[in-house]
Amino acid sequence: MAYSPSSPRVVVTGLGVVTSIGHDVDSFWASLLAGRCGIGRIALFDPKDFASQIGAEVRDWDAAQHMDPKEARRNDRYTHFGFAAARQAVKDAGLDPAREDGDRVGVMIGSGIGGMWTYESQLKVLAERGPRKVSPFTIPALIGNMCSGLVAIELGARGPNFGVVSACATGTHALGEAAHAIRRGDADVMVAGGAEAAITPFAYASFCSMKAMSTRNDEPQKASRPFDKGRDGFIMGEGAGVLVLESLEHARARGARIYCELTGYAATCDAFHITQPDPDGKGLSLAMKRALASAGVAPGQIDYINAHGTSTPYNDKFETLAIKKVFGDQARRVAISSTKSMTGHLLGAAGGIESVICVKTIQTGRIAPTINLEEPDPDCDLDYVPNVAREAPVRTVLSNNLGFGGQNAAVVFRAL
């Protein structure tokens, strides 16, 4: 979407994450740079009968430490993560809700699947104990917009509020649409990102039936290996990534610390297949082109790409092709990494945490690696920052996310 030069500029002032390798931004970022992998054998349920028995779980987690214990009991695990990440981001931004006009503050925290734990547990209650024993909080807990609703209640945010649902492109779409709300003048502040908690028996059984997940159960730390010749499927992760976005004018007026600017965003569809990406990379390449155009930057100005990089045979090959289509000769000179090699694939939360990574990359001049890249696939022949973090001057970054249904999203961040 094109805006006039007088449209508000959108900046990032707050970051929050909950992941398998850190429950806050500092520990998360340190783990990424160290190449620490958060993947292990599933502990949330007994996985012995499943083809894939590994995942990137958020361990040592007590939701009651991050929200009111009563609210924690009433809400799903995905909401726990999103709410905690949003609180972190608001605190990091130094945003005082009491000083803000609630009519000018909005929330867009999406989830690709929503309250899967609630869904499964209450279906079991229905089957074993009957309809009268199903919790009255079932529907509010499982719907995908409830995290946005709870954060809005916490902040008194009465501006634009909904939960984006676009599979694994959800988090990036939420951020891009939140930026649009600011540029349209509908809000001064948006709290946006994604949250997911789909490491459940039913979700695992479903993905295993699709043969989409890695079965490298004996080597969980090496199972997610984007762009490597030996990759055999994605690894499920869980958690949340949330950013505070503001108009530049609003951020400066309150003296906020500004990380960077969100300058470009685009959303497209492959219109090709319900699960497989377009083998020509047309939809993703169009998303990248439009995001760059909306940011007003040329491909040669991108210093780093956080790739979708799921560690599936199709995605990594076709994403590489799409990058080559957009960047041409520049494709071999831009640093690219898939941090899913460490975090697993957080589905609807992927775009949220990967946007946090992009912002931290600009802030620190350090690029997180793609770990487990030991034998490059001949079809994946770009610079994926293999195995070791890299120091480099980084001003402008691009992040890609793709989702079932042919969804594509791309977002551009740039140093102010």
Q: How many angstroms separate the CA atoms of 255 and 248, rounded?
A: 10
Residues 6+ away with beta carbon under 8 Å from 285: 322, 323, 325, 326
Buried b (16+ CB within 10 A) or exposed e, 269-298: bbeeeeeebbeebbbbbbbbbbbbebbebe
Q: How many angstroms separate the CA atoms of 179 and 177, rounded?
A: 5
Question: H/E element holding 208?
Answer: helix 201-209
Residues tagged active-site: 168, 308, 345
Q: How many angstroms separate the CA atoms of 238 and 219, rounded?
A: 19
- Reference 111, options 151, 74, 72, 71; nearest CA is 151
**Structure token pair of residue 156:** 């008194």
SS3 of residue 308 by DSSP: coil
Residue written as token pair 């309250």:
115
SS3 of residue 111 by DSSP: coil
Q: What backbone phi and psi angles, to 5 degrees, belong to 5?
A: -60, -20
Q: In DSSP terms, which residues pair with 22 in a beta bridge?
A: 19
Q: How many angstroms separate the CA atoms of 341 and 264, rounded?
A: 26
Distances 57 to 21, 186, 319, 344 between C-alpha atoms, Å: 9, 37, 26, 9
Q: How many angstroms separate the CA atoms of 53 and 178, rounded?
A: 36
Q: How many angstroms separate the CA atoms of 53 and 320, rounded?
A: 28
Q: How many angstroms separate the CA atoms of 233 and 322, rounded?
A: 20
Any idea of the CA torsion for 7, 12, 13, 15, to the nearest 10 degrees?
150
Q: How many angstroms separate the CA atoms of 14 and 8, rounded?
A: 18
